[in-house]
A and B are shown apart, each in its own frame.
Chain A
Amino acid sequence: MARRPSPSDYRSDVWNDWCPGCGNFGIVAAMYQALAELNADPKATVVVSGIGCSGKIPHFLSVSGVHTLHGRAIPFATGIKLANPGLNVIVNGGDGDLLGIGAGHFVALGRRNIDITVIMHDNQVYGLTKGQASPTLPRGIRTKALPMPNLQDPVNPVALAIASGYTFVARGYSSRVKHLKDLIKAAVEHRGAAFIDVLQPCVTYNDVFTYDYYDKRVYALEESGWDPDVRDESDAARKAAEAYAKAFEWGDRIPIGVFYRNAHVPSFEDRIAGRLPGYLKVPPAAEPVDSGGAPLMDADAFRKAFSKYIVEIGEG
């Protein structure tokens, strides 16, 4: 490559129609910067999103983008990644998208530990449907559009990710862009399922968790001496438990940074490669299916492969 790319190389020319001031701008800025610093190949990078304000993000990036269905970004990403593990797959979803309608998939990705990075735009509301409570909005809180205070308790995204088996779990803040950029880089470089819960002020619907609110409270875990890394496999459970407890620290001080990282769990791709010897060399997307329009399998191979189903007519 001639020159190192700059963040603006990763911008598409689609007009960005988020509300002026939206925290999503910080997330997309961090992505431009992270992709540039990772020297990401735009063809080999696929940003997969759900539906919501957050879901529009692929259109603002000049890498490949797949803007899917509400809640289903993870399954799409799973199919893309497993068919071509050479692609760098990043999921962007809303908190409603990933932890409401798509919560089952969120958990499943952790169990599989597929090498996918999930960036959650955590604004505690359903932005694109006019500010209803999202699964991360605490009980009793009444954000601007709610007719009544929220009756439901929130799910803790960091704790849920740890419990689900994500091997990289972090929290970022959209207005600490350099910190967030570093988290995204680390998450992409981590081999396994990585999750970043990004605190993202929604300036239109969330008048409780605002820039002001977070600016006063967030602190970087790494600066407080937190060590997220599982150094020895036997230590994984203890580390996870500590990170789990840390995830509930919320109030006057809100930690951001990497909570938990475990490089010892085999990725799903490696698990598949254990069964399909050619998988990583020639992934499903690249494996030929025909030779000049004829099937690769001839009668002989068919007979050998499926002998179990073939009955030769005869005496004995």
Chain B
Amino acid sequence: MTLRALDFILGGPQGGGLETSSQILTWAFARAGYGVISDREYFSNIRGRHSYVHAEVSATGLPRALRYPIHLLGAMDAETVFTHFGDLAPGSYLVYDTGEEGKVYESIPSIEPELKARLRAAFREAGLDGTLGSLVKYLSASRRVVPVGLHYASVLSEAQKEVGIAASQASRYVSAILVGAVAGLTGLGDGPVSYGLSRRFPKKELYEPNRYVAGAVASYVKSKFGAPLALEASSIGQRELLVASGNDVSAMAKIVGGLRFQSYYPITPAADESFTLEEYESLHLDGFDSEVVVLQTEDELAAINAAVGAALAGARSATATSGPGFDLMVEGLGWAGMNEVPVVVTYYQRGGPSTGQPTRGAQSDLLSSVFASHGEYPRIVIASGDHEEVFRDAIEALNYAERYQMPVIHLVDKFLANTIASIPMPDLSSIRIDRGKLVGEAAGAGGYKRFDFSSPISPRAFLGQAVMWYTGDEHDEWGHITEDPESRVKIMEKRMRKLEIADSEIPEEARASYYGPERADFLLVGWGFVKGAALAALEDLSAEGLRGAYLHVRMFSPYPSRLVSRILAGFEPDRVIDVEHNYTAQAASLLAMNTGFRIRRSVLKFTGRPMYADELARAVKSVLSGSEREVLSYGA
């Protein structure tokens, strides 16, 4: 029997080669024509704590969500097995190092005390002695897990004899062991595996020994188990795929969108985007030239304000940050709102408040994005739900900023940022670049009113094209300070009217999407990364005869109130369920504020781990049978 989709986890110590295994396998599966999504879960730590990659590979589509239980766990160390054994499905496979069988969980310092306490209880109940060996025996006997034990040290000394191993790269070969084991169990061909390896190791000196290790392990595993987790042939029908993290997709989109200036101060999970931009800061391909100034500033105060300055000078300009950095940017954002500056903030949400859960995901900064600041000014807030949306939205954010002359916040969550997904190649021919109303040199010296009251969106000249003034104080048409009460009313209305114009011009269909049958029995309402889990959960539920739909909100300011109200009107109030990654159901509050509809049921998760399709489906069933609030917590 072959699988339509495979869920697996690879785990190991941070910095120990996990990223390499995962990259190689992602490329290899994509090469073989499968859709892949892979989420990285890691601690705020550089080396040594447990991290893991949870991936789904699909033969029938490009997956956007993850599921439990898993078919395969590849463990670099004992801690991985102690952490994830509960995730294994009956009949699943556990790849582990037999050299670690004597390891006792109590003696592993990186396991957090809470998990140790849970393990203590579980081991007591199962009558285990605390060693990895006893756990593996138990899993095999009572849970029908198939152990795939390999003696990692022997594999490596074998490789040392055969091909030689560079000491400084030794952990690379542990990566290759897992690659080989997964390839063997899934029957992934030699071709794709070599492809993945050669992309990761373009240099022969590294490629050859890794190829050797992966190949040896794969053929051993295949000979012993016979590819029990083989996927059916792919029916995805793509010729090529873009395989990238949300951070990288956003960076690529910004370059396509004509970004010319990005400032940033390092913060997880946003900094990777700026790194990628810097990697591509200077592109000169025949017929295409793009240069981007990427400035690492001294703090986020400087990051936002330098981005605003660059925008005043006429550069398409953005900054990228996460919660703590955004908090520091708020005053600058208000200045941009006051002065009608087109600037984009790519906001990668992580768990808060304070430093919070620096490496974990969340959707708890929605209200802050929409409301943060003293005073009132118009802003556009977009939220992306998958990698394809990130690509579109990153470009639209730059367009909206210039068209409506206001700051745009582009919300992405850590789940998206760090998840690597395979998506179709973007269709660049459908993309438009809109710079809004520009007057250029025609503004003339001395006679140019930057905030000309004759229309809400005043034609814009860049610094250098005319003499103009800006001030964060309330100002007149010229940009000079005025405290006149009547003038205040005029300019407030001018600024705020722009949001109404945006509301009338941006199609609501681009701001909220409905997925599902025309008549459904219940409606999930979500945003951001919830999209993938919601759609996958609905598929599972419809297989059980429950007909649901999903309303995906993509813009929170201006809010698509009419469309959302219309969709909500088709459902019994009790059959509408809010789904989000936060404690207080923030999107439901905004929905109520904009539509008057109060969602009374919710499924929430705020552990920092993504929502899984299976747990969401279960929670929806509980809600449909009466529960008002389900709080999810699955995932290590």
A: residues with CB less than 8 A from B are 12, 14, 42-44, 46, 48, 51, 56, 58-59, 62-69, 71-72, 74-84, 86-87, 104-105, 107-108, 272, 275-279, 282, 284-290, 293-299, 301-302, 304-306, 309-316
Residue pair A295, B256 in contact (C-beta under 8 Å):
yes
Q: Is the pair B469, A59 in contact by a Cβ cutoff of 8 Å?
A: yes
Asked if A104 and B310 make an inter-chain contact with CB atoms under 8 angstroms apart, the answer reads no
Give Cα A72 to B298, complex, Å: 12
Cα distance A303–B241 when bound, in Å?
11
Cβ contact within 8 Å between B291 and A276: yes
Let me know if B306 and A313 touch, CB within 8 A: no
Residues of chain B within 8 A (CB-CB) of A293 are: 432-434
User: CA separation between A66 and B450, bound complex, in Å?
Assistant: 12
Contact of A279 among B291, B422, B435 (CB under 8 A): B291
A312 to B317, CA, bound (A): 33
Q: Please, what's the 1-or-0 string for B328-340, where 1 marks a CB less than 8 Å from any CB in chain A?
A: 0001100100000
Contacting A108 at CB < 8 Å: which of B240, B298, B315?
A: B298
Cα–Cα distance between A76 and B257 once the two chains are bound (Å): 23
Query: Which of A62, A108, A276 has its CB near the most chain B CB atoms (within 10 A)?
Result: A276
What are the 9 A-B residue pairs with the smallest beta carbon separation, nearest first? A289-B258, A79-B309, A290-B433, A79-B306, A284-B260, A75-B305, A83-B310, A67-B471, A285-B314
Query: Can you identify 10 A-B contacts, CB atoms within 8 angstroms?
Result: A43-B466, A59-B480, A72-B332, A78-B295, A79-B309, A83-B313, A105-B301, A276-B293, A289-B260, A295-B431
A84 touches B464 (CB 8 A): yes
B299 at the interface (CB under 8 A from A): yes
Q: Does B96 contact A (CB under 8 A)?
A: no
- Please state if B425 and A310 are interface contacts (CB–CB under 8 Å): yes
Closest residue on chain B to residue A59 by CB atoms: B480
Q: Cβ of B30 and Cβ of A311 under 8 Å apart?
A: yes
Q: Is B473 an interface residue (CB 8 A)?
A: yes
Residues of A within 8 A of B252 (CB): 302, 306, 309
B30:A66 contact, CB within 8 angstroms: no
Stretch in B129-137, B280-288, B567-575, B605-613 touching the partner: B280-288
Name the residue on B nearest A111 (C-beta): B298
Chain B residues near A76 (CB-CB < 8 A): 305-306, 308-309, 312
Q: Which residue of chain A lies nearest to B282 when distances are taken between CB atoms in the complex? A: A276
Residue of B nearest to A105 (CB): B302
Q: Which of B220-228, B242-250, B553-561 contacts A (4 or more CB under 8 A)?
A: B242-250
B307 within 8 A of A: yes
Q: Is the CB of A301 within 8 A of B285?
A: yes
Closest to A312 in B: B240
Contact B240 A87 (CB under 8 A): no
Q: Cβ of A272: which chain B residues have Cβ within 8 Å of it? A: 293
CA distance A290 to B261 in the complex (A): 15
CA distance A67 to B473 in the complex (A): 8
Q: B429 on the interface (CB 8 Å rule)?
A: yes
Give A56 to B480 CA distance when docked, in angstroms: 10
Asked if residues A80 and B312 are in contact (CB atoms below 8 Å), the reply is yes
| Closest Cβ neighbor of A84 among chain B residues | B313
- Which of chain B's residues 468-487 have a Cβ closer than 8 Å to chain A? 468-473, 479-481
- In the complex, the answer to whether B291 meets A80 with C-beta atoms within 8 Å is no
B288:A289 contact, CB within 8 angstroms: no
Cβ of A65: which chain B residues have Cβ within 8 Å of it? 468-471, 479
Whether the pair A69, B191 counts as a contact (CB closer than 8 A) is no
Q: How far is the CA of A316 from the CA of B195 in the complex (A)?
A: 6
Give the complex CA separation of A194 and B611 in angstroms.
Answer: 53
List the interface of chain B (C-beta within 8 A of A): 27, 30-33, 189, 191, 194-195, 238-244, 248, 252, 255-258, 260-261, 263, 280-285, 287-293, 295, 297-299, 301-317, 331-332, 335, 395, 422, 425-426, 428-429, 431-435, 445-446, 462-473, 479-481
Q: From the candidates A59, A67, A78, name the one contacting B306 in the complex (CB within 8 A).
A: A78
B261 proximity list for chain A (CB < 8 A): 79, 82-83, 284
Residues on the A chain within 8 Å of B191, using CB: 314-316
Contacts of B313 in A (CB 8 A): 79-80, 83-84, 87, 284-285
Q: Are A285 and B194 in contact (CB under 8 A)?
A: no
In angstroms, how far is the closest chain A Cβ from the Cβ of B382? Answer: 18
A69-B305, A284-B291 known; A310+B258 contact, CB < 8 A? no
Q: Give the docked Cα–Cα distance between A278 and B288 (Å).
A: 13
Q: With A69-B331, A278-B289, A310-B425 given, is the CB distance from A75 to B301 under 8 Å?
A: yes
Contacts A79-B311, A272-B293: A69 and B332 contacting too (C-beta < 8 A)?
yes
Contacts of B464 in A (CB 8 A): 43-44, 46, 64, 84, 86-87, 285
Complex: how many Å from CA A182 to CA B313? 28
| Cβ–Cβ < 8 Å partners of B302 in chain A | 72, 74-75, 78, 104-105, 108
Q: Which residues of the other chain, B, contact A82 by a CB distance below 8 angstroms?
A: 261, 293, 295, 306, 310
| Cβ–Cβ < 8 Å partners of B304 in chain A | 75
Query: Which residue from chain B places its CB closest to the CB of A286 in the assembled complex?
Result: B314
A64-B464, A79-B311, A315-B189 are known; give 16 further A-B pairs, CB within 8 A. A12-B480, A58-B471, A66-B470, A69-B335, A80-B312, A82-B310, A83-B310, A83-B311, A87-B464, A104-B299, A285-B315, A287-B291, A289-B257, A289-B258, A299-B428, A313-B241
Q: Please state if A64 and B463 are interface contacts (CB–CB under 8 Å).
A: yes
Q: Which of the listed residues B297, B313, B473 has the most CB atoms from chain A within 10 Å of its own CB?
A: B313
Task: Return the contact of A296 from the options B288, B315, B465 (Cβ within 8 A).
Answer: B288
Query: Is B242 a contact of A310 with CB atoms below 8 Å?
Result: yes
**Are the CB atoms of B239 and A312 closer together than 8 Å?**
yes
Measured in the bound complex, the distance between the Cα atoms of B233 and A70 in whole Å is: 62
Q: Evaluate contact between B305 and A299: CB separation under 8 angstroms.
A: no
- Which residue of the partner chain A has the closest CB to B30? A311
Query: Please, how many angstroms separate the alpha-carbon atoms of A35 and B235 in the complex?
Result: 70
CA distance A286 to B314 in the complex (A): 7
Q: Which residues of A are found within 8 Å of B257, using beta-carbon distances?
A: 289, 295
B403 to chain A, nearest CB (A): 12
Choose from B306, B463, B472, B480 the contact partner of A69 (Cβ within 8 Å): B472
Given contacts A72-B305, A295-B433, A312-B240, contact A83 B428 (CB under 8 A): no
Whether B284 pairs with A277 at a CB distance below 8 angstroms is yes
Chain B residue numbers with a CB within 8 Å of A79 are: 261, 263, 295, 305-313, 317
Contact B480 A14 (CB under 8 A): yes
Give the CA-CA distance A77 to B297 in the complex, in Å: 13
B263 touches A83 (CB 8 A): no
Collect the chain B residues with CB atoms within 8 Å of residue A277's CB: 282, 284, 291
Q: Which of A299, A301, A311 contacts B241 (CB 8 A)?
A: A311
Are A311 and B293 in contact, with the CB atoms below 8 A? Answer: no
A305-B285, A311-B30 known; A294+B432 contact, CB < 8 A: yes
User: CB distance A311 to B243 under 8 Å?
Assistant: yes
What residues of chain B lie closer than 8 Å to A304, measured between beta carbons?
285
Q: Which residues of A contact B446 (CB under 8 A)?
A: 42, 62
Q: Which residues of B contact A294 (CB under 8 A)?
A: 429, 431-433
Report the Cα distance A287→B431, complex, angstroms.
19
Structural contact, A311 and B468, CB atoms closer than 8 A: no
Instruction: Tell me the bound Cα distance from A81 to B263 in angstroms.
Output: 13
Which residues of B have CB within 8 Å of A42? 445-446, 467
